[in-house]
Amino acid sequence: MRQVTPQEALSRKYPEWIVLVVSCAANGQVNVMPAGWSMVCSAKPPLYAVSVSPKRFTHKAILDSRAFVIAAPGPDMGEAVWYTGNHSGYDGDKMPASGLKTRPGTATPVPLIEGAVFNLECRLVQQVETGDHTVFVGEIVAAHVDDSVEGRLMNFGDGIYGLAQLVESTRYEAK
Ligand SMILES: Cc1cc2nc3c(=O)[nH]c(=O)nc-3n(C[C@H](O)[C@H](O)[C@H](O)COP(=O)(O)O)c2cc1C
């Protein structure tokens, strides 16, 4: 074992789960950005946390509507992830060019992403300043799944890949 920088150790954490963070600004502009830094952080109540830089349009839009949607991209959403991850809502509405389709949610003003594995409608309940990011914690107030979508999009560090099924590997059973 050798001691390294935090960055070098963390470069080995991949594959990483990617989510799409959907938000809606005060002027009605709907926005999507991919995030790798997110997690479930409570079961009762169901809470989801996502880490967003204050530089992002998403940061402003979440504070505007105090709500966000977490959508899990299917394996064919790679182009949309790259597009929304390399353009900012501050430069205009990126939804038309993203290829993503939305539909109204049922519990918040933030729309859902069509064809995502799941959509979690979250109401903002807490925010924590964490160095150069803000962790937004949302209570999941409605959830939706699309049973026709198989697999997930994952970030492997050297690029994002659509996984249609789990890679064959050793399975460890509880003893
Ligand atoms: C795979 C991937 C993961 C990302 N993860 C995060 C993240 O966890 N937090 C964050 O603030 N930005 C993250 N980004 C960067 C934002 O998605 C990117 O800056 C985006 O253009 C911001 O859009 P916005 O300004 O419209 O909100 C990620 C980008 C990619 C491509």
* Ligand 1 touching residue 87 (CB < 6 A): yes
Average of per-residue pLDDT across 113-127: 98
71 CA distance to ligand 1 centroid (A)?
Answer: 14
Rounded-to-integer distance, Cα 85 and Cα 175, Å: 43
Provide the token pair at 24: 């809606």
Query: Collapsing DSSP states into helix, strand and coil, what is residue 21?
Result: strand
List the domain boundaries for the chain. 14-162
- CB hemisphere CA count around 94 (13 angstroms): 23
Q: Which of 22, 23, 56, 64 to mutate to test the pocket of ligand 1 (most atoms within 8 A of CB)?
A: 56
pLDDT digits (tens, 9 = 90+) for 8-62: 999 999 999 999 999 999 999 999 999 999 999 999 999 999 999 999 999 999 9
Give pLDDT, residue 169.
Answer: 66
pLDDT at residue 100, rounded to an integer? 98
Tell me, using a 6 A CB cutoff, whether residue 57 lines ligand 1.
yes
- The CATH architecture assigned to 14-162 reads Roll (2.30)
Inter-CA distances, 42 with 25, 49, 119, 120, 139, Å:
27, 9, 17, 14, 9
Looking at residue 160, what is its pLDDT? 84
Which residue lies with its CA nearest to atom 23 of ligand 1? 88
Is the beta carbon of 95 within 6 A of some atom in ligand 1? no
- Please indicate whether residue 155, judged by its CB atom, sits closer than 6 Å to ligand 1: yes
Is the pLDDT higher at 164 or at 133? 133
pLDDT over 60 (residue 91): yes
How far apart are the C-alpha atoms of 111 and 121, rounded to whole Å?
A: 9
State the chain's mean pLDDT as an integer: 94
